[in-house]
A = this chain, B = another copy of it.
Amino acid sequence: MSNPMQAKELLIRAVECDQSGRILEAQTLYTDGIDQLMNFVNGEPDEAKRKVFHTRIKEYMDRAEAIKARVNGKLMLGEVVSHVSIEENDTGYDYDQVFGQYMDRKTIEILVEEPYMQQNYQYANLVRFLELAITNCPNLKYFRLITKEAQDPKYTDNQKTNLGQIKADLERRNIAVSIKYEDSLHDRKIYLSNGFIIKIGRGLHFYKAPNPMYSIGLNNYKFRKCLQTDVDIWRNNSSKS
Instruction: Identify the A interface with B (CB < 8 A).
Output: 123-124, 126-128, 130-132, 134-135, 162, 165-166, 169-170, 173, 212-220, 222-223
A139 to chain B minimum Cβ distance, whole angstroms, is: 16
Tell me if A's interface is mostly helix, strand, loop or mixed: helix
Interface contact A216-B127, CB-CB below 8 Å: yes
Residues of B near A222 (CB, < 8 A) are 135
**A131–B219 contact, CB under 8 A?**
yes
Given the known A-B contacts A162-B214, A214-B162, are A219 and B169 also in contact in the complex, defined by CB atoms under 8 Å?
no
Copies in the complex: 2
Instruction: Give the shortest distance, in Å, between A238 (CB) and chain B (any CB).
Output: 31
Which residues of B are found within 8 Å of A128, using beta-carbon distances?
218-220
Which of B134, B215, B217 contacts A216 (CB under 8 A)?
B134
Alpha-carbon distance A218/B127, docked complex (angstroms): 7
> A220: which of B135, B170, B218 is its contact (CB, 8 Å)?
B135
From A126, A130, A216, residue with most partner B Cβ within 10 Å: A216
> Among the listed B130, B212, B213, B223, which residue makes an inter-chain contact with A131, where contact means beta carbons less than 8 Å apart?
B223
